[in-house]
Amino acid sequence: GENVEQHPSTLSVQEGDSAVIKCTYSDSASNYFPWYKQELGKRPQLIIDIRSNVGEKKDQRIAVTLNKTAKHFSLHITETQPEDSAVYFCAAPGEYNFNKFYFGSGTKLNVKP
Amino acid sequence: DAGVIQSPRHEVTEMGQEVTLRCKPISGHNSLFWYRQTMMRGLELLIYFNNNVPIDDSGMPEDRFSAKMPNASFSTLKIQPSEPRDSAVYFCASTAGAGNTEAFFGQGTRLTVV
């Protein structure tokens, strides 16, 4: 199956700074890479995703980059705010068409005001 | 749509008892997933269904765990007998269509086995 590694496990930044979280995957056939945000005591929710036909996608302060050759993708959050504090998970599918997602181990982001 | 609905939200049970977790996916979604979340192991995929059929249950930890999806709008995850190490948050999620798309998670069931 797919092996998804995520780092760092914790990240602390000052409000207004940028945060970058990285993930690597093992299955070269993977073609869809979502990022989920989980606030304390709540469910994971999709914040951005990217498909393998593009190298970068941006949505306001959030962007994701994908390097298929190196099999890694990253989440970039600019101008961080305290409400960005949460656990972020990357994921990659193990089998095309069946949505079998393997999640990374999560990154706990703390944005200090 | 109200989203993915799980019940109960919290469950406290004694070791050895049977526990049944329930999930109602989003109407029209054809894939359903059960995940377990713990501090030590993160989000683990236990089993997933496509069109009500179990596709892969390789993540189910032991024979004490079983899951069913009798129809497109209902799934259960059963633990019998339960053990303290089963304590975790169990999430159900569903997705629409074939191909990779967003997974919508339920609120989760926090299970405590004492």
Interface residues from chain A to B (CB-CB < 8 Å) = 1, 31-32, 34, 42-46, 49, 51, 89, 93, 96-106
- Measured between beta carbons, the chain B residues lying within 8 angstroms of A34 are 102-103
Res B99 pLDDT > 60: no
Tens digit of pLDDT for each residue in B43-71? 998 998 989 999 889 889 889 999 999 99
Tens digit of pLDDT for each residue in A56-103? 999 999 999 999 999 999 999 999 999 999 999 999 887 654 567 888
Q: Are A101 and A3 in contact (CB under 8 A)?
A: no
Res A1 pLDDT > 90: no
Res A109 pLDDT > 90: yes
Res A30 pLDDT > 50: yes
| Residue B91 bridge partners (DSSP) | B35
| Residue B32 bridge partners (DSSP) | B49, B94
The backbone torsions φ and ψ at residue B85, rounded to the nearest 5 degrees and listed phi first, read -70, -5
Res B90 pLDDT > 90: yes
The total number of residues written for chain A in this structure: 113
Percent of chain B with pLDDT over 90: 75
The verdict on a CB contact (< 8 Å) between B100 and A43 is no
Q: Are A77 and A59 in contact (CB under 8 A)?
A: no
Q: Nearest 5 degrees, angle CA B4-CA B10-CA B14?
A: 135
